[in-house]
Amino acid sequence: MRHGQGRAGRAAMAAILAGGMAVTAVAQTAPAPKPAAAQDGTVALDGVRVPLSDLMSREGADYLRHLIVDKPFGAPAADIRAERARQDGIMRDFLAPMRRRYAVDIAEQRIGGIVTDVVTPSAGIAPENRDRVLINLHGGGFTTGGRSASLVESVPLAAIMRIKVISVDYRMSPEYAFPAGSEDVEAVYRALLKTYRPEHMVLYGCSAGGMLTAEVLSRFHQRKLPMPAAAGVFCASLGALTAGDSALLAGPLNGFTFPPPPPGQRPAMPPMAYLAAARADDPQAYPLVSPDTLRAFPPTLFITGTRAFEMSAALNSHNALARVGVESQFHAWDGMFHGFFYNADLPESREAYAVMAKFFATHMAR
Amino acid sequence: MRHGQGRAGRAAMAAILAGGMAVTAVAQTAPAPKPAAAQDGTVALDGVRVPLSDLMSREGADYLRHLIVDKPFGAPAADIRAERARQDGIMRDFLAPMRRRYAVDIAEQRIGGIVTDVVTPSAGIAPENRDRVLINLHGGGFTTGGRSASLVESVPLAAIMRIKVISVDYRMSPEYAFPAGSEDVEAVYRALLKTYRPEHMVLYGCSAGGMLTAEVLSRFHQRKLPMPAAAGVFCASLGALTAGDSALLAGPLNGFTFPPPPPGQRPAMPPMAYLAAARADDPQAYPLVSPDTLRAFPPTLFITGTRAFEMSAALNSHNALARVGVESQFHAWDGMFHGFFYNADLPESREAYAVMAKFFATHMAR
């Protein structure tokens, strides 16, 4: 054990160990300065201090401290053009060191009528990947990230796997709304099906791109298109972006507080503008609502972190796939936050790339 | 979305969605009544209220509320005999409804000189499992749970998989210390190897039993014994029982508070009495410290929950196996706590049994 602690703390912790369920007995042995829980089971975290996780790399801890203390990204802009420019700037700053680390070539190519960025490894495509391709759907809340977050999500995998990655510049809000993005990805996929076998393709993305990955798979199922070999739903779930414990904890764990919700209400993520008109029970928007849809999913990898607001929703989706017998994998890194692997300088990010690369390579047909 | 929220909350949440990394920008748009973070990155959770997770089943939510509000298990006893009796009573209360749900026969049998409970399905062993066996190592902090938690961990899988489960009554503290438990399990395993092929055996356990599972695998590796087909490390990790974010959050999320640690120190789980004399760098006690040891591990399943103090440590172990190329699976249920699946009345527990059964059945040789 790395760190010491007070006698009372030791007694409380020892009590936890006295038996599986004894965890709840500890309240009676530790002094509670105020009532810790309401009658409805809501717990109050007053007085709780959470230091940086001791499971992070040195680089991960330094970076999380920087994010929490220095808040380097500024505030979102109200105007969509200004906000896109701001986010593109943030992405450029992630991309620059990434391109020094990972040698790739990037070319614009229109596929199925849709603009894409095609990222290929400078070292050449590996022989076993000559007939394979990854399709990336970028993050950015369905409002930003076109051709910027795209590259941040594509460059590492193209170089590490020595494979072609095609990132789709799909339509977003506020100009467009669901299912415009799905239509664009379908157009690209149909065009690629003329050259690639579906079992040689993988679909993946982070945040809005993770949600869109799931939405597009649902669309393929409905339209009887063949499924790709595998999917990567990163920084997202198969349903709403957030739910459960992590939705409430991620903000405070990253150093900011939400105003409390109205009495009796649960703080909740508002629907994204892109999905505002979609029905909550539409499997094309939220595949999680339909076990029949999930049953058609290819093997799926979830990537998140313990300080990411989507973690609980991603866990829940992973369990939902298990319920219907679909293979899935879940990996999260302690202390890591929404979209952490945009920063390729973190060892945690490079571990995540390795997990992604292995999962995708394993599931594409020879 | 199920719940409404105030305008300020919506603005803050919308800002999160504006881009992958914008999560950290929100602090500047939401009113912060006090400084939320210290210069070292420690975050203060004052004012944060966490209601029951909206991802739990109705039964799961009712039970967690009961645990948080009613604290039904009382306080640990100081005397070991009294504490064992108390824990055995808690286990009897879990076992009674479990035995109504899952029909099994239980027989005491000495194997390799060690007392075990042999649990067999009343419906008979499935034909494909005639030559297979699961070996259970019970929880209870290496101090309690012999022949009580044992049954709670063995009965559901014996009935669901229609397979024989042998639960080992290994030596515990304070009478004995590491590696006494490992020696006992080795004796049982060596005896079973005379009848069963290793690829027809699985080793699993919860909490201390999950730790012991990992410790025993490390011992088998060192002694060049053949590895079993798979392992289940439940409510535990391959190293210390707790670390990282969940170690600090699980207590408060279950409705109790720890006294703060001395300034500059991290609240930490004290070493368990059983392991007090073990070196922190001994792979026989903490296999996580040795990549070479981990490389020899069989496919491993981790089971935990978002309110379980071991969750971060389990995630970290799952990632450590991925690093050395060993297959592993991680499942956690939102809102669930240390050892939740001792309660078979929770749908989450029965989902966990199904995940365990599938993982074990898949990995044992035909």
Residue of A216 and A20 predicted with greater confidence: A216
Range name among A98-107, A253-262, B323-332 with the lowest pLDDT average: A253-262
What pLDDT, on the 0 to 100 scale, is given for residue A74? 85
Q: Residue B58: CB partners within 8 Å, gap ≥ 6?
A: none
Contacts of B5 in chain A (CB under 8 A): 261-262, 265-268, 270
Nearest CA in chain A to B206: A20
What does the radius of gyration of chain A's CA atoms come to, in whole angstroms? 22
DSSP at A284: T
Q: Residue B115: CB partners within 8 Å, gap ≥ 6?
A: B108, B147, B169
Q: Give the distance from residue B168's alpha carbon to the nearest chain A alpha carbon, in angstroms.
A: 17
Contacts of A271 in chain B (CB under 8 A): 1
User: Can you tell me whether residue A211 is helix, strand or coil?
Assistant: helix
Query: At residue A20, does pLDDT exceed 70?
Result: no
Q: Say whether A61 and B40 touch across the interface (CB within 8 A).
A: no
Minimum-distance CB partner of A75 among B28, B51, B269: B28
Neighbours of A75 (CB within 10 A): 15
pLDDT band at A32 (very low <50, low <70, confident <90, very high): very low
Burial label for A78, CB within 10 Å (0-12, 13-18, 19+), is exposed
Q: Give the distance from residue B232's alpha carbon to the nearest chain A alpha carbon, in angstroms.
A: 16
Contacts of B206 in chain A (CB under 8 A): 20
Contacts of A61 in chain B (CB under 8 A): 41
Minimum-distance CB partner of B5 among A5, A268, A272: A268
Torsional sign, CA A337, A342, A345, A350: positive
CB A61 within 8 A of CB A335: yes
Query: At residue A281, does pLDDT exceed 60?
Result: yes
Nearest residue to A259 via CA among B35, B257, B250, B27: B27
Side-chain half-sphere exposure of B184, counting CA atoms within 13 A: 24
Across all residues in chain A, what is the average pLDDT? 90
Minimum-distance CB partner of B316 among A139, A265, A334: A334
Q: Say whether B18 and A50 touch across the interface (CB within 8 A).
A: no
CB B251 within 8 A of CB A26: yes
Q: Give the distance from residue A172's alpha carbon to the nearest chain B alpha carbon, in angstroms.
A: 12
Integer Cα distance of B110 and B159 in angstroms: 22
Q: Residue A278: CB partners within 8 Å, gap ≥ 6?
A: A178, A179, A271, A284, A285, A286
Domain ranges of chain A: 2-78+248-253, 91-242+269-363
Number of H helices, E strands in chain A: 10, 10
Minimum-distance CB partner of B50 among A1, A8, A249: A249
Q: Say whether A3 and B266 touch across the interface (CB within 8 A).
A: yes
pTM of the full structure:
0.93
Residue A243, φ and ψ in degrees, nearest 5: -170, 170
Q: Say whether A24 and B269 touch across the interface (CB within 8 A).
A: no
Integer Cα distance of B70 and B61 in angstroms: 14
Percent of chain A with pLDDT over 90: 83
Write out the two tokens for B339.
């050892």
Nearest CA in chain B to A13: B269
Nearest residue to B251 via CA among A310, A27, A206, A292: A27
**DSSP secondary structure of B71-140:** -TT-PPPSSHHHHHHHHHHHHHHHHHHHHHHS-EEEEEEEETTEEEEEEEETT---GGGTT-EEEEE--S
Nearest residue to B255 via CA among A315, A30, A242, A316: A30
Integer Cα distance of A340 and A94 in angstroms: 11
Nearest residue to B350 via CA among B177, B47, B102: B102
Minimum-distance CB partner of A140 among B4, B19, B354: B19
Nearest residue to A299 via CA among A199, A215, A182, A225: A199
CB A297 within 8 A of CB A321: yes
Q: Give the distance from residue B49's alpha carbon to the nearest chain A alpha carbon, in angstroms.
A: 5
Angle at which helix A311-323 crosses helix B347-363, to 10 degrees, equals 60
Which helix (H) or strand (E) is A330 found in, with range?
Answer: strand A328-337
CA A195 to chain centre: 29
Contacts of B24 in chain A (CB under 8 A): 67-68, 71-73, 254-256, 337
CB A136 within 8 A of CB A205: yes
Write out the two tokens for A196.
């690639």
Contacts of A54 in chain B (CB under 8 A): 243-244, 266
Integer Cα distance of A358 and A364 in angstroms: 10
**Per this entry, what is the length of chain A?**
366
Write out the two tokens for B240.
């210390």
Suggest the residue from B46, B258, B360 to mutate for an interface test with chain A (most A CBs closer than 10 A).
B258
Integer Cα distance of B253 and B312 in angstroms: 14
- The most confident of A69-73, A239-243, A282-286, B41-45, by mean pLDDT: A282-286
Integer Cα distance of B141 and A267 in angstroms: 37
Per-residue pLDDT reduced to its tens digit, A203-221: 999 999 999 999 999 999 9
Q: Say whether B245 and A8 touch across the interface (CB within 8 A).
A: no
Tokens 């507080």 sit at which residue? A257
Minimum-distance CB partner of A245 among B1, B270, B334: B334
Integer Cα distance of A56 and A228 in angstroms: 34
Neighbours of A350 (CB within 10 A): 17
Integer Cα distance of B208 and B218 in angstroms: 15
Contacts of B304 in chain A (CB under 8 A): none
Number of H helices, E strands in chain B: 10, 10
What pLDDT, on the 0 to 100 scale, is given for residue A34? 55
ipTM given for this complex: 0.92
pLDDT tens by residue, chain B, 366 residues:
333 333 333 343 434 433 333 333 333 344 444 567 899 999 999 989 999 999 999 999 999 999 999 999 988 999 999 999 999 999 999 999 999 999 999 999 999 999 999 999 999 999 999 999 999 999 999 999 999 999 999 999 999 999 999 999 999 999 999 999 999 999 999 999 999 999 999 999 999 999 999 999 999 999 999 999 999 999 999 999 999 999 999 999 999 866 667 777 776 666 799 999 999 999 999 999 999 999 999 999 999 999 999 999 999 999 999 999 999 999 999 999 999 999 999 999 999 999 999 999 999 999
Which helix (H) or strand (E) is B362 found in, with range?
Answer: helix B347-363
Kindly state the average pLDDT of the residues A252-257.
88
- Give the Å distances, CA to CA, from B193 to A265, B128, B197, B200, B217: 57, 18, 6, 10, 15
Q: Say whether A75 and B29 touch across the interface (CB within 8 A).
A: yes
Give the CATH number of domain A91-242+269-363: 3.40.50.1820
Range name among A2-6, A10-14, B301-305 with the lowest pLDDT average: A2-6
Tokens 């050892």 sit at which residue? B339
